Amino acid sequence: MAMTKSEPVAVICGGVGAARLLRGFVGRIDAEHLTAIANVGDDMVLHGLNISPDLDTIVYTLADAVSAERGWGLEGETWQAMEMIGAYGAVSGEPLDWFSLGDRDLGTHLFRTGALAQGSTLDQVTAQIAAKWELPLSILPVTNDPIRTMVTLAEGDEAGTEISFQEYFVGRQHSVAVSSVRFDGAASAQAGPGVLEAIDAATTIVVAPSNPAVSIDPVLAVPGVRERLEARRGDVVGVSPIIGGKALKGPADRLLVELGRESSATAVAEWYRDVVGTLVIDTVDADQAPAIEALGVRAVVTDTIMSSPAITSALAETILAERV
Amino acid sequence: MAMTKSEPVAVICGGVGAARLLRGFVGRIDAEHLTAIANVGDDMVLHGLNISPDLDTIVYTLADAVSAERGWGLEGETWQAMEMIGAYGAVSGEPLDWFSLGDRDLGTHLFRTGALAQGSTLDQVTAQIAAKWELPLSILPVTNDPIRTMVTLAEGDEAGTEISFQEYFVGRQHSVAVSSVRFDGAASAQAGPGVLEAIDAATTIVVAPSNPAVSIDPVLAVPGVRERLEARRGDVVGVSPIIGGKALKGPADRLLVELGRESSATAVAEWYRDVVGTLVIDTVDADQAPAIEALGVRAVVTDTIMSSPAITSALAETILAERV
């Protein structure tokens, strides 16, 4: 079933995997009908700055502004501010330079913080940032309210201690075991302007290949989002972030295991079974298709490692074609 | 009367003029006996960052880190963050790039903001910053409490409107007339650790050639400071920031007139007569010495334009030698 370019698509997004997949949709779907609904559970205030890592990853990636050498952060980036922070030393034994802040990237954070302080909402700031980078699609934070993904540590002296996502992800380089995840503020958050409308209008809702536990779940936790996907799961196509039992990037594989699942495409299908009618899995996981279908989730097998524009494009095409 | 290097000196400081004068004392006074007590009325939170312009000017100047070409800001500075902020455009019609934030300088602001957020006090942060720049003297914010210098505009549609000092000084480039100045928070501020002690211990208290109305007065407004100087005005030596009727830098000359005085060394003596026993004035203003002495303020005439290390050094020597 081919899809015309004017059929609206909404993509539930985390960071890197989602940003790459969005590149497959840009040009294929009219920009006015393409909406990215982004996780803000990783957002934080660091040294006074409002930082929205997933929103920035999406913007920088779609703008082709990500450094090719590093694979993250902006091209043409410099690190003068960071070097100074480091030179000043630790405070109460804690270094202040644990989170990389490039000078150009700082401009984005300073703009966001300044605009919020002047009364802009996060969706307005994000639209202004996207406009500067000449991105025509809608990039919407799932909510303008603060949501903070918190993880509880599982082991050793720290067992039971709850830390913020960034402290876990960057500060500890996600090398510690986690016993649970919580989205502080989500229950009372209100979906941002246009978010529920974009889901309602979409003929296909895509769940990007992001971390289910800490990138997609906080989006689903905003009241109205999960409910809409559940009600329309036949129109929802997920992409497994687990390929051959591993996450391409980040701790999704270990997190699934730590949270009592297994690290497999089937486990992803199980995680999403209430909200996703179709799951796109990688060819290396083709043998799991029967198990996934046994869960009541349609399995579609294709190449999902977006290592070239051609593969990304084909994956986007598959998602659009295969929805039920 | 020659001064030994171990006699304690406290210098009441604004920004540039004070920083230059301090260079004359460094080396002449043992660092352990030299204390700069700095204005924090210009401090602000900008785009989330805690910025302390006078503290930074003092530190960067004493560290010989000020750009020789520009005469302000850090040497080796870059402007990547600033360019990005500018590229994102205005918010509600207001540009967010009105205050220059160099990338290296941002490192200082980020460190200060992060350290304050972690529970450091402003004096602790300042000491850590000074240590990185290997400055042995004590640089003390007059208070750890927030003081905000506010100016009321005098003319046109905006008459009666009160704006922050930085909005006046940088945002409007001090090109608007002012009818009054107020130090928000000063009355309830507590002098910072070591501030009153340094004044008590000093055999000479210096009032640097900074703007009387907006740089020195907020320091004096912190409870305990003005009272101590009044009680010991014989030990207090001021340096006029007005030379030949003009301020070398900034709006001190116009401000004095707008606030109902005249722009002269004599007007400075009048401004300070309750707290300053001796005023050092420039040779071009020698003819004002009688008028100043008629106010009960001892006038000392010398070169006060610190255009060379030799002149700065001689000025410092004069201050130390001429106290009553």
Determine how many CB atoms are found less than 10 A away from the CB of residue B265.
29
Secondary structure (3-state) at B148: strand
Identify whether the C-beta of residue A311 lies closer than 8 Å to the C-beta of residue A250: no
CB contact under 8 A, A81 and B89: no
Q: Residue B1: which pLDDT band, with cuts at 50, 70 and 90?
A: very low
Query: Looking at residue A73, what is its pLDDT?
Result: 86
Domains of chain B: 9-45+137-146+186-322 (3.40.50.10680)
Q: Cβ of A93 under 8 Å from any chain B Cβ?
A: no
Q: With beta carbons less than 8 A apart as the criterion, state whether A285 and A265 touch.
A: yes
* B118/A92 CB distance under 8 A: yes
| Interacting residues of B21 by C-beta distance below 8 A, sequence separation 6+ | B11, B206, B208, B209, B239, B306, B312, B315, B316
The pLDDT profile of chain A, 324 residues, written as one tens digit per residue, is 444 577 899 999 999 999 999 999 998 899 999 999 999 999 999 999 999 999 999 999 999 999 988 878 899 999 999 999 999 999 999 999 999 999 999 999 999 999 999 999 999 999 999 999 999 999 999 999 999 999 999 988 999 999 999 889 888 888 899 999 999 999 999 999 999 999 999 999 999 999 999 999 999 999 999 999 999 999 999 999 999 999 998 899 999 999 999 999 999 999 999 999 999 999 999 999 999 999 999 999 999 999 999 999 999 999 998 754
| Interchain contact, A107 vs B78, CB within 8 Å | no
Burial class (CB in 10 A: 0-12, 13-18, 19+), A69: exposed
- Under 8 Å CB-to-CB from B186, ≥6 apart: which residues? B41, B147, B218, B221, B222
Which helix (H) or strand (E) element contains residue A112? helix A103-117
Q: What is the mean pLDDT of residues B246-260?
A: 93
One-letter identity of residue A205: I
- Whole-angstrom CA distances from A307 to A137, A206, A264 are 23, 20, 20
Question: Which of A56, A58, A53 is CA-nearest to residue A23?
Answer: A58
Strands of the sheet with A204-207, listed across from one edge: A138-141, A34-38, A9-13, A204-207, A236-239, A278-282, A298-302
Mean pLDDT for B309-322 is: 93
B114 shares contact with chain A (CB less than 8 Å): yes
A191: left (phi over 0), alpha (psi -120 to 50) or beta: beta
Residue A170 has what pLDDT?
87
Please tell me if residue B120 touches chain A, with a CB cutoff of 8 Å. yes
Among partner residues B78, B81, B89, which is closest to A110 by beta-carbon distance?
A: B81
Q: Spell out the residues 6+ positions from residue A6 whose beta carbon is closer than 8 angstroms to its own.
A: A30, A33
Q: What is the pLDDT of residue B2?
A: 47
Nearest-5° angle of CA B322, CA B218, CA B119?
115
| Cross-chain residue pair B92–A118, CB shorter than 8 Å | yes
pLDDT tens for residues B81-128?
A: 999 999 999 999 999 999 999 999 999 999 999 999 999 999 999 999
Of B49, B91, B132, the CB nearest to A118: B91
Angle between helices B80-88 and B103-117 (to 10 degrees): 80
Residue reference for tokens 């949270």: A259
* CB neighbour class for B85 (10 Å; exposed up to 12, middle 13-18, buried from 19): buried
The answer to whether the beta carbons of residues A235 and A277 sit under 8 Å apart is yes
Beta bridge partners of B37: B12, B140
Specify whether the CB–CB gap between A242 and A253 falls below 8 A.
Answer: yes
Is B47 within 8 Å of A111 when comparing Cβ atoms? yes
Mean pLDDT to the nearest integer, B307-322: 93
Cβ-based contacts of A106 with chain B (< 8 Å): 80-81, 84, 103, 106
Which two structure tokens, joined as six digits, stand for A221? 């936790």
What is the CA angle B321-B323-B324, rounded to 5?
125
**CA-based nearest distance A129→chain B, Å:** 6
- The predicted pLDDT at position A203 comes to 95
pLDDT in tens, A240-286: 999 999 999 889 999 999 999 999 999 999 999 999 999 999 999 99
ipTM: 0.91
Contact with chain A for residue B108, Cβ under 8 A: yes
Residue B74's pLDDT is: 95
Pairwise CB contact (< 8 Å): A110 & B85 = yes
Closest CA to A111 of A99, A122, A95: A122
Residue B273 predicted with pLDDT over 80: yes
Tokens linked to A256: 């699934």
**Residue B143 is encoded by which pair of tokens?**
């208070």
Residue A190 neighbours by CB under 8 Å, 6+ apart: A143, A144, A145, A222, A223
- CA dist., res. A100 & res. A84, Å (int): 12
Surface-to-core class of residue A272, CB atoms within 10 Å of its CB (0-12 exposed, 13-18 middle, 19+ buried): buried
- Lookup: tokens for B92: 């509600």
pLDDT at B58 over 50: yes
Stretch B144-172: mean pLDDT? 93
Give the mean pLDDT of chain B.
Answer: 95
Give Cα separations from B20 to B72, B209, B324 (angstroms): 12, 9, 23
Cα separation, A126 vs A136, in Å, equals 12
Q: How far is CA A202 from the centre of its chain?
A: 19
Query: For residue A144, what are the CA distances in angstroms to A11, A50, A126, A140, B311?
Result: 18, 12, 10, 9, 58
Read off the pLDDT of residues B195-242 as tens digits, 9 standing for 90 and up. 999 999 999 999 999 999 999 999 999 999 999 999 999 999 999 999
Q: Count CB atoms within 10 A of the CB of residue A315.
A: 23
- Cα separation, B117 vs B133, in Å, equals 22
pLDDT at res. B4: 53
